[in-house]
Structure 1
Amino acid sequence: MPNWQERSGMLDDSLALIGARLKNWREKRSMTLAELSETTGISSSTLSRLESGKRAPNLELVVPIARALRLELDDIVPRAAPDPRVKRTTKSIGGTQYETLSPESSPVQTYKVTFPAHPPGVVAVPEPKVHDGQEWLYVLSGRLRLVIGEQDVTLGPGEAAEFDTRIPHWLAATGAGPAEVLSIFSKEGKRIHLRARGG
């Protein structure tokens, strides 16, 4: 979280850009300096100096200009972007480790899931579960056994699956080591569509 000095610096940067933003909006509205001057009662020279950054912005100047250009405050001084980093938490359920990769408020929840390896010679017995939602998963490493309905498949690194979690399902690592999986879960049960821009 930024300290007060960093916040002060961000505010100074925003104030320094007000003139340029006002000029940009004036040009978008196809207004000349003379027309804006006539509408606001502020001299063209003052407007020019404000737009070029040679005149510090203040409310007496900015408010009438904003009205003349039909602008909201956020159009002139954009809100600071929130910290995009996700606070990650890790929890273990029955030996399976879940690491959160999305905020709780997100419409879809993303996890890095690590399924533990089973002791040599021990075959895990599926105990399918059912709950509302839609899940998409991608195997990062290891091998993952997925039992869903009548299907019993094994996925390796680079393979993906998507399924309705209202169908009885069960997942576990198979092979010599643990399986790491990227899991995206939609609580609403909506299909998950991933979009990627072309290079």
Structure 2
Amino acid sequence: MCKMAVMDDDASAVLEGVGQRLRVLRRSRGTTLAELAGETGLTASTLSRLENGKRRPTLEQLLPLARAHGVPLDDLVGYRHTGDPRVHLRPVARDGMTFVPLTRRAGGIQVFKVVYPPASRWGEPALKTHEGYEWFYVMNGSVRFVLGDQDLVLRAGEAAEFDTRLPHWIGSAGEHPAELLTLIGLQGERAHLTVSGD
């Protein structure tokens, strides 16, 4: 067998599972094909054909899909790292906050380091609700945590967990930034990183 044929076989094997991974990622985010089309600039029919394996994906299609799903391109093509176990951090800025992802797998609980700016940057708390459950641990600084009719201040070393269907708001309580370690489910991740932060 010639070298070119072996390379084609390898490429086919790598791309074979892309459709199923794309479908699992989209469904785990609770996103429709139409919504994903809006995020990526690809048509819903193209996305459907990619997920069903009726169309072979190109790099130009995979890049916006990886961005939309918040996963490395390697995850879409099923490439398994065999060397460096480190998570390469790519901070996301949203509404004055900085989210640093500490996990890289798609689906399930996601872990973030969240940096809230000083309290002087916030106005009155705007309580929000969304599907999911959240846990956070204050690493540095102090945090004002409003949950329903409770108005609490948590300091370094303290933690909280709550149902995000309850109206809530989190922000720095002092004149210095506050740093939190946060675990959130899929719906919570979408609310924080796609719509707006708490």
| Correspondence list, 1:99-118, <5 A | 99-118=100-119
Give the paired residue count: 109
- Check whether the contact 1:88–1:101 (CA below 8 A) recurs between aligned residues: yes
What residue ranges of structure 1 are gaps of 5+ in the alignment? 1-78, 190-199
CA distance in 1, matches of 2:140, 2:87: 23
Aligned twin of 1:137: 136
Determine which structure has the larger helix proportion and give its number. 2
CA distance in 1, matches of 2:81, 2:96: 41
Deviation for aligned residue 1:88: 1.6
CA distance in 1, matches of 2:116, 2:162: 18
Deviation for aligned residue 1:118: 3.0
Deviation for aligned residue 1:111: 0.4
Distance 1:172 1:80, change over 3 A: closer
Instruction: Quote the RMSD (CA, aligned, Å).
Output: 2.3
Percent identity of paired positions between Structure 1 and Structure 2: 40
Aligned twin of 2:93: 92
- Check whether the contact 1:109–1:185 (CA below 8 A) recurs between aligned residues: yes
Distance 1:125 1:80, change over 3 A: closer
Aligned twin of 1:47: none
Q: Deviations over 1:77-118 (max 9, x none)?
A: xx9856432232111111111000011414101000000003
- Check whether the contact 2:145–2:168 (CA below 8 A) recurs between aligned residues: yes
Aligned twin of 2:178: 179
- Check whether the contact 1:146–1:152 (CA below 8 A) recurs between aligned residues: yes
Distance 1:127 1:80, change over 3 A: closer
Aligned twin of 1:4: none
Distance 1:80 1:167, change over 3 A: closer
Distance 1:81 1:171, change over 3 A: same
Distance 1:136 1:82, change over 3 A: farther
CA distance in 2, matches of 1:123, 1:92: 15
Aligned twin of 1:15: none
Aligned twin of 2:65: none
Structure 1: which 4+ aligned runs deviate by more than 4 Å? 79-83
SS in 1 for 2:128: coil
CA distance in 2, matches of 1:106, 1:83: 22
Answer with 1 or 2: which has the greater Rg: 1
CA distance in 1, matches of 2:163, 2:98: 22
Distance 1:81 1:163, change over 3 A: same
